[in-house]
Structures are given as structure tokens and as C-alpha cells.
Amino acid sequence: MKSPLVVFDLDGTLLDTHADLVASLNHTIAALHLAPVNYDDLTHLVGNGAQVMIERACKLRDYTLAPEELPALLQRFITHYSETMPGLTEPYPGLLAAMDALKSQGYKLAVCTNKMESLARTLLERLNLTHYFEAITGGDTFPVRKPNAEHLIGTVERAGGDLNRTVMIGDSVNDILVARNAGVPSIAVPFGYSDVSVETLGPSRIISHYDELTPALVQGLLAA
């Protein structure tokens, strides 16, 4: 039988990336002379990758973005973010201990993020976390992304897992929806970047600290 698998979202779930996302986004839209955004804005902007984040920030500032302006802005974001990461980004409290405990009990781990795969990999490498994960997939790894079930299904395949022995953990609507669309249990964390309370997303469980992410909790969700 294949090992059970825990799949993590990245931004707002594994890592508190908000300060660096806001800084790189503000650097990007400063090219258009738009006023900077803040953390509260970010919760409405993030979740579908950098390009959508830039588009939403422009809309927030009532700037009509011409399609031909996007590639240079996206490149501006990628360059700034790549050069500054890991910046202030760090794992949420208790994450490493929880992942160590899961791995010691035979669980495999993977990442399924809407961040560009290359940015997710570089960030995890610079934080020395890559070795934890059997697979890391991003919003541009497959033709579709979260909440499309195929993103999670593809991640599970790459990790050598079994969809029937997989739990998805995330902070936002796309994470809970991708789990539901793929038919796997979900865990929501309330400390990330959701613009609505995670209760309203209908996850299988909510944990407020990684202390609660135990092998017994995951086992219980898989058995239910």
C-alpha cells in the first residue's frame, strides 16, 4: 500500500510570505505610479498567482491595464521577488516539528501552490525545506491550476501517492475547493490570506496551530 500523503498549499499555509509579496507587488505597480497596497488588500489579491495579483492590484487602483503591459510587469515582479527572497518569509510556528513527526510516521509530503513553480522551488530551496517534499507543483506546472482537481491529482501522482490516502491543507478557498473537487479531505488554517473566515469554506477540519497537525489527526481524516 502507498504511503499516506499530506499536500500543503504554500503562501499563507507553509510560509508567511505576506511581507515579501506586498513589497514585490508594490515595487511592480510603482512602475505605473499606483499607490502601494497593504496586507488587507493582499488577502483579496493573492491566491491565483502573480499575474492575477498584478491585474487585481491595478483594478483596485482603478488602473485599466492594457494586455501588452502585463509581460513587463510580471517580469518586474518575478525579478524583484527572486532577488529578495527569502526576505522576511518564514515557516509558520510549529510547521517543521509537525512535518518531522508526520515523516517519522511514514507520511509523505508535497506542495501544491498557485505560485509559479520556479518561484516556489527557489523559495523553498533558500529556506532549506525542499528535502521535505516528494513533489512541488505550481500554478504553471499543469495546463490547469487550483481549484481544478487535476492540479491536486497531478501533484499526488508526482509524489507517488494515492488520492484515497491524501489530505490537502490550505488557507484559502482554492485549497478547500481543489480538495473537494478531487474528493479528498481538507484542513484549513485560519492564519493565512483568506478574505473570508475559513469556517465558511467548509473544510473537513480547521487547525489554528501546527501543533494540531498530528499523524493521529491525518489518520482520522483518512479513516472517516
Ligand X SMILES: O=C(O)COP(=O)(O)O
Q: Which residues are catalytic?
A: 9
**53 touches, from ligand X, Mg ion, none (C-beta below 5 to 8 Å by class):** ligand X
One of 56, 115, 151, 180 touching ligand X (CB under 6 A): 115
**Residue among 176, 169, 147, 163 nearest 15 (CA):** 169
Instruction: Please state, as a whole number, how many other Cβ atoms lie within 10 Å of the Cβ of residue 121.
Output: 17
Pick between residue 63 and residue 191 the one whose CB is nearest to Mg ion.
Answer: 191
Q: Is 20 in the site for Mg ion (CB under 5 A)?
A: no
Region from 3-11, 26-34, 94-102, 194-202 binding ligand X, contact rule CB under 6 A: 3-11
**48 touches, from ligand X, Mg ion, none (C-beta below 5 to 8 Å by class):** ligand X
Q: Is 147 in the site for Mg ion (CB under 5 A)?
A: no
In whole angstroms, the minimum distance from the beta carbon of 10 to ligand X comes to: 3
Region from 6-14, 54-62, 77-85, 205-213 binding ligand X, contact rule CB under 6 A: 6-14
Q: Is 49 in the site for ligand X (CB under 6 A)?
A: yes
Q: Is 48 in the site for ligand X (CB under 6 A)?
A: yes
Region from 60-68, 121-129, 148-156, 163-171 binding Mg ion, contact rule CB under 5 A: 163-171
Pick between residue 57 and residue 105 the one whose CB is nearest to ligand X.
Answer: 57
Rounded to whole angstroms, the Cα distance separating 114 from 182 reads: 16
One of 28, 113, 166, 194 touching ligand X (CB under 6 A): 113
Task: By CB under 5 A, name the binding residues for Mg ion.
Answer: 9, 11-12, 171-172
